[in-house]
Amino acid sequence: MTKYFGTDGIRGIANKDLTPELAFEVGRAGAFILTHGEKGKILIGKDTRASGDMLEASLIAGITSMGLDVIRLGVIPTPAVAYLTRKYKAVAGIVISASHNPGEYNGIKFFNKDGLKLDDNIEEKIEKILNKEKEVDFRPTGNDVGKVYREKNGAKDYKEFLKKSINIDLKGIKVAMDCGNGALYKIGPEIIKELNGEVICVNKNPDGMNINKDCGSTNHKVIQELVKKENAHIGLSFDGDADRIIAVDENGDLIDGDHILAICATHLKRNGKLKNNTVVGTVMTNIGLDIYLEELGINIVKTTVGDRYILQEMLKNDFVLGGEQSGHILFLEHNTTGDGMATGLHLLEVLIESKKPLSSLRDLMKSYPQILINAKVDNKNKYNYLEDDIIKEEIEKIEDKFHGNGRVVIRPSGTEPLVRVMIEGENQDEITGIAKNLAMVIENRLSK
């Protein structure tokens, strides 16, 4: 059975791995599993990739062939689709995006009627249809075929939702912004201006292929340099679909997802809004956040990597704040997925209310040295690292060497032929050398 869904939907090189034929079948299968033949509407949003139109057309054909209407939102961030699916009472929402990946990639991810990413068992049901293990013999005709509509107010409704989630006036605040030539390229600067702030924005001219290219949240040097050049109070940098953010303080120093969690957890606790006194992180969360939260008397619960798993934990135990070091931050009181722009606005809210420079908020938490290296492997072997005795032996040697003062985290990429090697310890040079060596061992063992 082919595995189509990774940690964040279906993803691959557009028109090679993710073909229009596959997108058509995904549209049919997804529509059937999520609605079981009932009438309704499905929203579709996309980022700025050139292949988005092609995949959207195929998805629309598949969905309407199942008798459902499609509401086209156009270019819009992933978290907007999650919100608008609920607001417009759709049966599902679909985002066409490959997030932080290069422009030649694209992806398809679903939200259910509640704006939640699909459970694994729902994805498995869709995959059974894609693998021809289950047939969908349902083809309405005549007026029962689905129709296609364009929603012109989607971006406006999302902006109003964001502005209502905070209570700030940005007069006198200068914001530097890197839109990554992605889905937030219009909405991001507009919101700052509508809140009376000054915004200096770069990478806001998408051409279909420059999304994430030497810019955005995975290329933070751009925003660091922009903040220092423009003497901005804060820098905000987004990935292609704007569900993640990396921030920068007034000195150009990086504020990753762990630091954002520390800042926002402190603020929420001080205002009596940190429900059940708990933050949700992942196995990749820096140990420095654990130590800081413990000092504040705040609990931290950790999940596997992926904002969907963070969300599941938050829903299960009624928590309101969670996120990843990579910048997926969830404020469950407001939305059901990571939201880069919402996170940036919450940071601005803390900045204004605290009357402190962002650098002092960044220093609440001390990060321990950490290194993440990608080992390139054969895609079919990337989950086999725990079955290889030589790799296991190498990991055990490293853990013995640390004596509890460091840790090793190995994680296959959900979307690429990579195994991610994360080492955390007290000495940066030492852990870098260890991580490079372990990545080399994994490449040698799993690249064939």
What's the pLDDT tens digit per position in 319-373? Answer: 999 999 999 999 999 999 999 999 999 999 999 999 999 999 999 998 889 899 9
Domains of the chain: total: 3
- Report if residue 161 sits inside a domain: no
The pLDDT > 90 percentage for the chain reads 78
Of 344, 362, 380, the residue that ends a domain is 362
For the entire predicted model, the pTM comes to 0.87
Of 346, 362, 378, the residue that ends a domain is 362
Q: Which domain holds residue 127?
A: 5-152
Say whether 106 sits in a helix, a strand or coil: strand
Confidence bin at 1 (pLDDT 50/70/90): low
The better pLDDT of the pair 76, 39 is held by: 76
What tens digit of pLDDT does each residue of 8-28 get?
Answer: 899 999 999 999 999 999 999
Q: Are residues 347 and 396 in the same domain?
A: no
Retrieve residue 180's tokens. Answer: 């990554």
Q: Are residues 144 and 190 in the same domain?
A: no
Lowest-confidence region among 148-152, 395-399, 412-416: 412-416
Whether the predicted pLDDT of 37 surpasses 80:
no
What positions carry a catalytic annotation? 99
CATH number at residue 101: 3.40.120.10
Of 123, 152, 181, the residue that ends a domain is 152
Tell me whether residue 226 is exposed, middle or buried, using C-beta atoms within 10 angstroms of its C-beta: 0 to 12, 13 to 18, 19 or more.
Answer: buried
Confidence bin at 406 (pLDDT 50/70/90): confident
Q: Are residues 352 and 244 in the same domain?
A: yes
Q: Are residues 192 and 147 in the same domain?
A: no
* Residue appearing with tokens 């800042």: 263
* Contact (CB, 8 A) for 171 and 193: no
Q: Which residues contact 444 (CB under 8 A, 6 or more apart)?
A: none
Q: Are residues 75 and 174 in the same domain?
A: no
CA neighbor of 108 nearest in space, from 131, 133, 130: 130
Terminal CA-CA length for the chain = 21
Angle value at C-alpha 234, between 232 and 235, nearest 5 degrees: 95
